Amino acid sequence: MSEPTNAPRSAEIHFKIRLNPEQMPESIEWSATDASEDDAKSTKSIMLSVWNDKEQKAMRIDLWTSAMLVDEMKLFTFQTLMTMADTFERATSEKEMAGEMRTFAQSFAKKMGFVQDAGKGGER
C-alpha cells in the first residue's frame, strides 16, 4: 500500500567544513536530499540563522574560507540582505518594512561601490 502524497517526510541539508591547523575553514561543501544534483557543492561562505524559540533569539553560524574575496563578501552580504527582505515579507506580509530593508540594502550596495537592480536578490 502506498503512502498518501501529503504524508510528512524528511529532508536534510549537510555541511562539510574542512579546517586548517588554525581551525579556520579551508573548504566548505554542502549537499541536500532535495537537490537536483547528488554531488556535494563547493562554496566559499555560509550564513546560517536558526531561531531558538525557548530563548527567543537568533543563533548564527557564519563561516567563510580564505578564498572568499572581499568584493565577493560584499556582494554576498547585499544579496543576503535582499533575500532576507523577501523572506520577511512572505512570512509577515509587512510589505512596507520589507521595502525599508530593500532600501537599506540598496544604500549598502551604493556605499560598497556596486549597484544592482532591487529586484535581484540572489540564488536561493
CA distances in angstroms from 91 to 3, 30, 43, 63, 85, listed in the order given: 30, 26, 27, 26, 10
Residue 109: CB atoms within 10 A of its CB come to 20
Q: Determine the Cα–Cα distance for residues 11 and 14; give it in Å rounded to an integer.
A: 10
Q: What is the pLDDT of residue 6?
A: 84
Q: Determine the Cα–Cα distance for residues 50 and 29; give it in Å rounded to an integer.
A: 19
- Which of 84, 39, 42, 31 is closest to 65 using CA atoms? 42
Q: How high is the mean pLDDT in each 10-residue block of the chain (124 residues)? A: 76 95 96 83 97 97 97 96 98 98 96 67 44
Q: Determine the Cα–Cα distance for residues 95 and 59; give it in Å rounded to an integer.
A: 25
Q: What is the pLDDT of residue 116?
A: 57
Main-chain dihedrals φ then ψ at residue 54, nearest 5 degrees = -70, -40
Q: What is the pLDDT of residue 118?
A: 45
